[in-house]
A and B are shown apart, each in its own frame.
Chain A
Amino acid sequence: MSISRRGFLGAAGLSALALASKSTLDALGFEAAPQEPTSAAAGTRWAMVVDPRKCLDQGDCTKCIEACDYAHNVPHITNPAHEVKWIWKEPFEDAFPFLEVDYAPEAFREQPVMVLCNHCDNAPCVRVCPTQATWKRDDGIVMMDWHRCIGCRYCMAACPYGSRSFNWGDPRPAMASLNPDYPTRTKGVVEKCTFCEERLAVGQRPACVDACPARALVFGNLDDPEGEVRSLLRARFAVRRKAELGTGPAVYYLV
């Protein structure tokens, strides 16, 4: 984590250059995170494909949410105004407001889809953060430093996906079970999904992906043409949330 961070800070004065500077970083010898579906030729760009239909078949399943919440000590706050969420369900029509689906079957419109941080190529949150407490790694992950964050919430205003949560109070009393292997947060900082960078670092898949009984969440390297993500995107039509904003989200939804 710290290596990628230095790589980012050293190579990119402007976050917009982060993607373009991928080759520079490689040339400088910075290591990318361990790749699951290894491809020597291309770099690594982590991405996720969500299959809402498979998800829907599971009914009220919340296994991915539970796995994530436990893995990352996400508090369970009852007041909806102060909720902290890394991965959660939203009705399809709210997650995709620009796709006018008025005449689609009601079940489809209100079908819940899993939403999380999109780990954008051109992340507005990274652009606005005044302290680089959130930054883009060369493997595509938008990271957070909870020790540097000043809690100004500019990233939350900038995120067009509502993917970021602020700790309005101390989150620790709201944690039912504590995972001792992952830090808890303090009040006054912003947090969000990190694509389980701590698991990727030891060659594991994200917790939500492993927890899904229906394989509705597929995670892999977007830069690997033979990888599972690209095969799925070749085989089926997929949409991304608000891609027209130029953010380059890395979470795809199969329709």
Chain B
Amino acid sequence: MFMFEKAIVGSRRYWTWVCGLLVVIAVAFLAYLRQLQVGLAITGMSRDVTWGLYIAQFTFFVGVAASAVMVVLPYYLHDFKAFGRITILGEFLAIASVTMCALFILVDMGQPMRVLNVMLHPTLHSMMFWDMMSLGGYLLLNAVIALVTLGAERKRVAPPAWIRPVIIVSIPWAVSIHTVTAFLYNGLPGRSFWLTAILAPRFLASAFAAGPALLILLCLVIRKVTWFDAGREPIQKLAVIVTYAMLLNVFFVGLELFTALYSQIPEHVEHFQYLFLGLHGQATLAPWMWTSSVLGVVSLGLLLVPSMRRREPVLAVTCVMVFVSLWIDKGLGLIVGGFVPSPFGAVVRYVPTVPEVLIVLGIWAAGFLLVTLFYKITLSVRAEVAAS
């Protein structure tokens, strides 16, 4: 397989990490077999909160996948050379994220063996069909782009000319995957929490903050554990991107809050009330949502002060805060909050169960494993090129 031999040669530390991930994946797989046998009854979902952690994680990682465009666009459209060394890291992160998305969807299906019915009976009026198409296309685009550009780098030649239009197409395509994902929730008449035109822009803003924040952290880790240093400039530029995106994200959330709270229409207010204050004595998500808000505001403050942003240890902590804040907001609150209160006004508690969390962790481990393998291959190729 394509340069895969580079992934099976590594240090003891490398293998410990890979084996650790494999163990987590194996445990999750056992939990999933149990879910296949018993049904989704083993999760915390219910007839009122019909989507939970699985779909919320899916939504979050569509964002991480889309954020590759934040390195691809400056490099290929604006010839921003500093990103040359990390563009492929962004693309491989996108591939791993889309794969995670596919897994999150699969584990959420009641009848996973029938999932190809979506392709067998293409339904143009269903946003889920379009989401599957756009995510599949994005995976294919990034796989082709990453393999072709890395292959060229290995042979020390310029990438073939035909790849450029493919890369250009991948830019609006990245925007499309998160827009269509927002449309999944956007047009449902009874779900006021999602019935807001700012949802897709908000998704994109949070994606373009969380994704590059993760990429910064990955670059810092790579610098620590390998010979490869992405360099100071690309990390600082990514930090500026995170700053703008986080600013937009906080602004968009503010718009949501104003519209709901100033209009005081109960069905719009109730969801925020449930998330932040609790409703009918139920406040399961409130500590999470406040954590998310505080982390969001504090991290934005740190990002906005150049002297803070430029200090890499501070930046690293800030990026963790950004990531955690947005993960709670989108990977937890956004989906569950849309279902509570229910169409009958019921406030139903949703808490993920142990097997559900194990399955989620397994998919995270699978994502980490893919990123590890891809980055290992990339760095080995680069080491080889540098040595010769």
Contacts and interface: CB of A to CB of B under 8 A. Distances in A.
B346 to A, nearest CB: 8
Contact of A157 (B51, B126, B267): B51
B13 interface: no
A90 B117 contact: no
A246 B195 CA distance: 14
Contact of A245 (B127, B189, B344): B189
A189 B126 contact: no
A245 B191 CA distance: 11
Interface in A101-140: 124, 127-133
B45 A188 contact: no
Q: Which of B117, B129, B185 has the most CB of A within 10 A?
A: B117
Q: Is the interface of B mostly helix, strand, loop or mixed?
A: loop
Contact of A166 (B110, B191, B267, B345): B110
A247 B189 contact: yes
B121 interface: yes
B114 A162 contact: no
A159 B111 contact: no
Contacts of B112: 150
B279 to A, nearest CB: 14
Nearest to A97: B345
Interface string B47-59: 1101100000000
Interface stretch (B33-41, B70-78, B223-231): B33-41
B124 interface: yes
A97 B47 CA distance: 19
Contact of B189 (A15, A160, A190): A160
Contact of A188 (B39, B105, B185, B343): B39
A131 B118 CA distance: 5
B124 A13 contact: yes
A143 B117 CA distance: 17
Contacts of A80: 46-47
Given A82-B41, A130-B118, A168-B41, A158 B125 contact: no
B109 interface: yes
Interface of B: 38-41, 45-48, 50-51, 105, 108-112, 114-115, 117-118, 120-121, 123-129, 132, 184-185, 188-191, 267, 338-339, 342-346, 348
Interface of A: 13-16, 80-83, 85, 90, 94-95, 97, 124, 127-133, 148-154, 156-162, 165-170, 186-190, 242, 245-247
Question: Closest 7 CB pairs between A and B?
Answer: A151-B110, A160-B190, A188-B110, A81-B46, A169-B41, A130-B128, A187-B39
22 contacts: A13-B124, A13-B125, A14-B124, A14-B125, A15-B125, A80-B46, A85-B47, A128-B127, A130-B128, A148-B114, A151-B111, A152-B108, A152-B110, A153-B108, A156-B47, A158-B190, A160-B189, A162-B344, A166-B40, A169-B41, A187-B40, A188-B39
